Amino acid sequence: MQIVLLLLLILAVLIILVSKKERLQKSIKIYIIISLALVFIAGWLYTNYNQRVAQNQRDIINAYEQGKTLTCGRYRVNSNDFVFVSGTLSFVAKDNIKKLKGVVIDISTCKR
């Protein structure tokens, strides 16, 4: 996805640079190029952030599935007391654990 964004940015810059002087003034071309670059940088940062969050979630899920205990806020999550629900990316307490009945923990609160 980042390669496609970069290619689109390069294409847009080239089109702007070769446009006739009568259509766009030099200062307007510079503003457009800077704007495109800022949009590209914002998209790149957003993509990188999402990749880091997704990798962190995968690491947490792998640790849970390997039988490790996770710290999720004030709860200690393990496969003996909780079930992982992939659809909502959360841990739900098992029904047979009375003290945890009804507890649902979002994966974003967990640490390895």
Cβ count within 10 A of residue 105: 20
Q: How far apart are CA 60 and CA 55, in angstroms?
A: 9
Q: What are the E-state strand segments in the chain?
A: 70-72, 75-77, 82-85, 90-93, 104-106, 110-111
Please check whether residues 39 and 60 belong to one and the same domain: yes
Question: Is the separation of the CB atoms in 72 and 111 below 8 Å?
Answer: yes
Q: Who's near 57: CB < 8 A, 6+ residues apart?
A: 89, 107, 108
Q: Are residues 24 and 75 in the same domain?
A: no
In this structure, the answer to whether residues 38 and 17 fall within a common structural domain is yes
Same domain membership, residue 90 and residue 44 = no
Q: Indicate whether 58 and 30 sit together in one domain.
A: yes
What is the pLDDT at residue 22?
64
The verdict on 79 and 110 lying in the same domain is: yes
- 14 and 47: one domain? yes
- Residues 6+ away with beta carbon under 8 Å from 97: 81
Shared domain for 57 and 73, answered yes or no, is: no
> What distance in Å separates the CA atoms of residue 61 and residue 110, rounded to the nearest whole number?
10
Q: Please report the pLDDT score of residue 20 as a whole number.
A: 66
What range defines the domain where residue 83 resides? 69-112
Looking at the fold, whether 51 and 11 belong to one and the same domain comes out as yes
pLDDT in tens, the chain (112 residues): 667 777 887 888 777 777 766 666 778 778 888 888 898 899 889 999 999 999 999 999 999 999 999 999 999 999 999 999 999 999 999 999 889 999 999 999 998 7
Claim to verify: residue 86 and residue 73 sit in the same structural domain: yes
Pair (61, 101) in one structural domain: no
Query: Are 58 and 77 contained in the same domain?
Result: no
Q: 99: which 2 tokens?
A: 């003290």
Count of domains observed in the chain:
2
